[in-house]
Amino acid sequence: MLDVDIRASVFSQLSNLLSVIQAFSVVWASGLVIGRMCAWDAMTKILGLADHARHRGFRTESDEYGSCHLILFGDFKQLPPATSKPPFIALPRVHGGAFDFRVLRQNRRVISDVARREEIENFHGILHDVAHGISSDRVRTFLVQAYVRGAQRGCAADAPFEGVTSVFAKRRYRDTYNRTIVKRIGKTHNHTLKVKARVRARGQRGGGFYGEKKVAYLRRKCKTQNLWLLQLAGDFHTSYETEEVVDPTKQHMMRAMLSTNLAVDSRFANGTQGRVMMFHPKSTKDKHTALSAGHSGLMTRFLKETSLRKDELFPDIDHIDVQSRPEGLNARGEPIMLQLSLVPAYALTIHKTQALSIKHVVCGCLEGIFAWGQLYVLISRVTDPANLHLIGLPPKDLVEEVGSALKRAGYSDIDAFIRWTDVSREWEYKASSKSFAQKYIRERQVPMTHKTLEEILNPQPVAGRVLLKLLDYIDRVDRASKDGSPRPKFLGDDREPIFPPSGHPDELWWLTELSRRKTEERMARDELLEEGADESDNEEVSEDDIVKDKKDCDDDDTDVFSEDESDPSDTLLSASSSSNAGQPRLPLTSGPHESQSSFRRGASSAILSGSQTSES
């Protein structure tokens, strides 16, 4: 198997392309990254070379590809591409015989230890059950044991800075967790700086930033990849540190992740993890103030995690300078948001962990799982099943089992439950009734539910049925190929199409519950508009008001803001969209608890993203 980075040079030097069996991986991740390069670019190069070989007279009667074979690897048990369009395209040439299917029935990320062979085999069975939505006894036992391992771990207030990565289903949980850890780092290490995003009209240069009222509206309505309020903290790299480090053994550079593609060829892409080597300015005069993202001298130097232990570092190879970059907002007038294109990486979303093999401890949280395959991705990221520690609210039907297991292990179940409710900060544990109750949060629009394990394994029943049909078909083709029997038709066991056809009630099978509800609400409001519904009673701030107005803009070009000007729940109010760049958009609507007049106005003016990763 050839590495994707050297593929082009190898092919250019090969005299006989037909002697090569080319293999590459297709990773169904939000960023679609192979070997930290753009998947589509790599696939285009490989398929282009294969097509070139076909046109040179190497085609045979038995195989239209001649002796040049393509081997594509993909894990359909993981999350499909985050898009509002159908995630799969069924081509008769593919499932009709152009490609054979082979099933790898074990996760090759897992360690190979002869002494633990029985445990590893059981873990493979657990992954199989989770991938197929089966709430088996071994799955329940494994999750209970993972909660016991996570008994000493709780919220971010006491989480270690190194050796642990927390993984959440929702971005607001991730941001809350990261924000708490970075605040702790800022109190104990040398440097800290807060950077506040600014918004201005598209095409505007220099000043003319939007006022706080308009920015607050955009924060509620627009999905952004960057943070509205970013805090940088930690020690600098030894090459840049000018202040004395109290304890060199505890020197810590902030863990961060790029949120956009900066230099893909050099592996500085969306999702790349690393460290903050230094930032400029080092601080503001008052630590309670935030620096404007439009400040001319703002800069952060980002170092790859793989280059952390190198003795000699090279610019644009090991590290890169990150400056404020514009990000378009999906609102009328298409305003621009300026912010540094990185986020803290002490906690990640499940979508961002796809294609990762994490060798250290993974603290997973099952709260808020909303898409099929999320639990499978979470569990399968670890290379050792003992490294999976679960935190947060346990499934409703596992609370008693987890409590009994904690007591047998010598832990206090009440203390553990109270500590775990601080992870998402959306629940509280009542020891008197031994039950969990939802906290009241004004910004929340959708009520939370305490889900059972069955609901967590299968959060999308319609999508689950379709994907299980697809997995079953691939398995039947694999067995038929090995047995030499005829290839089965591209149908389910019930002789129905695997993917629901147009006009079927389950035509939009890939939508999550929230996206489906928003789509139905949008269609209902469109019907009201067609009937001539009154649109004149909207007293809220509309997106028409977001259009640039010189009288409402900040012309003083202030670079430093008081901390009390920023919303303390900055990232809580911004919906997640970790990988929507370049994806098709689906018109959706505002939250279900806004006024009817706001619904009508939003239906005619707002176009919001409908990606699966924007659930919050």
- Domain boundaries, given as residue ranges, for the chain: 4-106, 116-156+351-457, 513-554+582-614
In the numeric block, which tokens belong to residue 256? 């961060």
pLDDT of residue 117: 87
pLDDT of residue 508: 86
Distance in angstroms (rounded) separating the CA atoms of residues 377 and 371: 11
Asked if residues 305 and 356 have their Cβ atoms less than 8 Å apart, the reply is no
Distance in angstroms (rounded) separating the CA atoms of residues 536 and 527: 17
The neighbour count for residue 504, using CB atoms within 10 Å, is: 12
3-state percent breakdown (helix, strand, coil) of the chain, nearest 5? 35, 20, 45
* All residues at 6 or more sequence positions from 148 whose CB lies less than 8 Å from its CB, including other chains: 402, 405, 406, 409, 411
Mean pLDDT by 10 residues, the chain (616 residues): 35 34 34 44 66 56 58 78 75 74 75 85 92 94 95 84 93 92 90 92 80 89 90 89 70 92 89 92 83 91 91 91 92 90 94 87 92 92 92 93 94 90 87 81 68 93 90 89 87 88 87 78 76 51 46 46 40 35 36 35 32 37
Strands 198-200 vs 255-258: parallel, antiparallel or unpaired: unpaired
Distance in angstroms (rounded) separating the CA atoms of residues 152 and 146: 11
- Rounded to 5°, angle at Cα 275 from 270 and 280: 100
Amino acid at 121: E
Strands (E), 237-298: 255-258, 273-280, 289-292
φ/ψ of 349, rounded to 5, equals -85, 160
pTM above 0.95, yes or no: no
Dihedral over Cα of 116, 121, 126, 127: its sign: positive
pLDDT of residue 429: 87
